């Protein structure tokens, strides 16, 4: 009796409604909750690296400040702006889906992808600069083992501990970049379906959930930028 009632209700509902959900609202809420649970595990994952950063920064403050000053503040700042802009276009894509603006949705999704790629491009230039200056930790590239000679050391800094900053810099920005690449991949699939008109006011879970992930990756950078690029900068400039 009850089952046949649900079955009739389903038959009349949106084609995207899965059979194990009662209605679209429950399905939407469950999807968002699932992504949030995943993001909690991501917060713990990055939390471990932020912990390592804090421990080594307190252990080698002068070495970390010296190495941090060698990073390009201009490229870091531009990338922060690019990522914030991409978060805005992502939020606008969700808004366009919710309000049924099909064209605006596709355009803002494409913009988000392009801004994500811009971020990765600038990051690649920064990584190349580290390669050129022999600042890739370890002996990954033949003929370019890590050499802190290019880093201007603050008085009292020990050149032997500079490498630790670059291990943490590459681990954290590298994992962040991996998340960006995955995000661009997921966004490409979402954009493909959005262009075919799959998402509208009734059903837009995938756009919303991808948005949650994209904003999370933005938040990680919001913390990485001051911690890696800015702290210790004043020692160089303020004197």
Partner 1 sequence: MSEHIVQLKVYVTIFLALLVGTALTVMAGLHDFPGKLNVIIALTIAVVKATLVVLYFMHVRYSSRLIWVVFTSALFWLVILFALTFSDYWTRCWLPVC
Contacts with partner 1, residue ranges (CB under 8 A): 25, 28-29, 32-33, 36-37, 39-40, 43-44, 47-48, 51, 54-55, 58, 73, 77, 80-81, 84-85, 87-88, 90-92, 95, 98-99, 211-212, 215-216, 218-219, 222-223, 225-227, 229-231, 233-235, 237-239
User: Minimum distance from CB of 47 to partner 1 (Å)?
Assistant: 5
C-beta of 120 vs 212, nearer to partner 1:
212
Which residues lie closer than 8 Å to 152 by C-beta, 6 or more apart?
66, 69, 70, 236
C-beta of 67 vs 136, nearer to partner 1:
67
User: Minimum distance from CB of 149 to partner 1 (Å)?
Assistant: 26
C-beta of 15 vs 48, nearer to partner 1:
48
Q: For residues 59 and 162, is the Cβ–Cβ distance under 8 A?
A: no
> Other C-beta atoms within 10 Å of 237: how many?
7
- Sign, CA torsion 167/172/175/178: negative
- Sign, CA torsion 85/176/152/125: negative
User: Minimum distance from CB of 153 to partner 1 (Å)?
Assistant: 19
User: Minimum distance from CB of 20 to partner 1 (Å)?
Assistant: 18
> Other C-beta atoms within 10 Å of 141: how many?
11
User: Minimum distance from CB of 234 to partner 1 (Å)?
Assistant: 4
C-beta of 81 vs 197, nearer to partner 1:
81
C-beta of 80 vs 173, nearer to partner 1:
80
User: Minimum distance from CB of 29 to partner 1 (Å)?
Assistant: 7
The terminus-to-terminus CA distance of the chain in angstroms comes to 80
C-beta of 20 vs 142, nearer to partner 1:
20
C-beta of 76 vs 136, nearer to partner 1:
76
CA 100 to chain centre: 27
- Dihedral angle over CA of 74, 130, 80, 223, nearest 10: -120
User: Minimum distance from CB of 126 to partner 1 (Å)?
Assistant: 17
- Dihedral angle over CA of 167, 173, 178, 182, nearest 10: 170
Nearest to 235 by CA among 92, 68, 112, 29: 68
């Amino acid at each position: 009796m009850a089952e046949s009632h649900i079955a009739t209700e389903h038959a009349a509902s949106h084609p995207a409604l899965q059979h194990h959900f009662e209605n679209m609202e429950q399905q939407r809420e469950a999807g968002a909750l699932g992504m949030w649970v995943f993001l909690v595990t991501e917060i713990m994952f990055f939390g471990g690296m932020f912990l390592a950063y804090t421990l080594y920064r307190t252990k080698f403050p002068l070495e970390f400040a010296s190495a941090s000053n060698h990073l390009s503040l201009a490229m870091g700042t531009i990338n922060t702006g690019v990522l914030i802009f991409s978060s805005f276009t992502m939020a606008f894509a969700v808004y366009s889906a919710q309000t049924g603006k099909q064209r605006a949705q596709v355009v803002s999704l494409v913009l988000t992808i392009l801004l994500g790629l811009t971020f990765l491009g600038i990051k690649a230039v920064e990584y190349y600069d580290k390669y050129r200056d022999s600042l890739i930790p370890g002996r990954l590239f033949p003929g370019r083992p890590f050499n802190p000679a290019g880093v201007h050391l603050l008085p009292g800094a020990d050149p032997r501990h500079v490498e630790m900053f670059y291990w943490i810099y590459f681990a954290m920005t590298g994992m962040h970049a991996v998340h960006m690449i995955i995000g661009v991949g997921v966004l490409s699939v979402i954009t493909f379906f959005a262009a075919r008109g799959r998402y509208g006011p009734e059903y837009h879970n995938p756009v919303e959930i991808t948005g949650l992930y994209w904003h999370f990756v933005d938040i990680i950078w919001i913390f990485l930028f001051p911690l890696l690029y800015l702290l210790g900068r004043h020692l160089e400039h303020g004197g």
